[in-house]
Structure 1
Amino acid sequence: MPTPKKLALYVAAGALTAALASTPALAEQRPATDQQPVAEQQPAAEQQPVAEHPRHTEGRVTARGGLKLRDKPTRSSRIIRVEPYGATVHIFCKTTGDHVEGNNHWYLLTDGTWAWGSAQYIVPRDGHSPRWC
């Protein structure tokens, strides 16, 4: 699922391609094939390694009375559901939001519905730190 930023880039790229194709002077200069030009690649020795990051990180709920999951990373936003103590949740990414007992990180969870939970009460498993949203 692309992020809203990526989705906006895809839409902008499609609009630009359509605009260029409809411009007569530029359309005449384009090759008659359907293939798009390939960007020049750097030699393998100069390419920077890309750090792989897991798509989802598992976490465990540590809130004794259960964790309230919300529609925004704020304490005043609507509660969507409550996850019980010890439940395993799937963390998609993290962001900053309201402070909860000194911690302003919130995790976007993907368990059935997309909901935000305070990182104060979720411990990521296997030492993985969730990626930033």
Structure 2
Amino acid sequence: MSLRTALVSLGIAAAGGALVVGAASPALANGAHDDWGHHHDGHHHEFYQGRVNAPGGLNLRDKPTRGSAVIRHAHHGEIVSIFCKTPGESVKGNPLWYLLADGTWAWGAARFIDNIGPAPRWC
């Protein structure tokens, strides 16, 4: 089970900018990752890096769609940690979204995040 699937199945809710997850232990079962990129088989997986390129900054959302709730706002030029990528709603011709691992687990449209180094892995 992917982290995204586990989190969605647990019914994530944004509360005051923080992520609230009911029954966190199932989300970490079956080899999932925790907030620091540690795989629960004992291996460490580094996060990917990106830089926000949207001139006015980028709204980070609770789902990979433009109509979903805004979790927080990333400023132009901000360096973000990316956990993985997934297809979602197309933004200016780019259907990819990045799950950001900054403590909020928010989604950002890949159209507005330039990769620093290798492209993120699939979720």
TM-score normalised according to structure 1 size: 0.60
Q: Which has the larger radius of gyration?
A: 1
- Tell me the equivalent position of 1:19: none
| Equivalent runs, 1:1-133 vs 2, <5 Å | 3=3, 4=6, 10=30, 55-126=46-117, 128-133=118-123
Superposed CA RMSD? 2.4
Q: 1:7 to 1:110 in 2, by over 3 A?
A: closer
Amino acid at match of 1:130: P
Can you give the 5+ residue segments of structure 1 that lack an aligned partner in the other structure? 11-53
Higher relative contact order (CA 8 A, sep 6+): 2
Can you give the 5+ residue segments of structure 2 that lack an aligned partner in the other structure? 7-25, 31-44
Tell me which protein shows more helix as a share of its residues.
1
Q: What is the CA-CA distance between 1:122 and the residue it aligns to? A: 0.3
Q: 1:88 to 1:76 in 2, by over 3 A?
A: same
Tell me which protein shows more strand as a share of its residues.
2
Q: Deviations over 1:74-96 (max 9, x none)?
A: 01100111100000000000000
CA distance in 2, matches of 1:69, 1:61: 11
Q: 1:81 to 1:9 in 2, by over 3 A?
A: closer
- Tell me the equivalent position of 1:38: none
CA distance in 2, matches of 1:55, 1:93: 11
SS of residue matched to 2:111:
helix
SS of residue matched to 1:86:
coil
Fraction of identical pairs, as percent? 52
Q: Deviations over 1:66-116 (max 9, x none)?
A: 100000000110011110000000000000000100000000001121100
CA distance in 2, matches of 1:83, 1:8: 27
Q: 1:109 to 1:9 in 2, by over 3 A?
A: closer
Q: What is the CA-CA distance between 1:55 and the residue it aligns to? A: 2.9
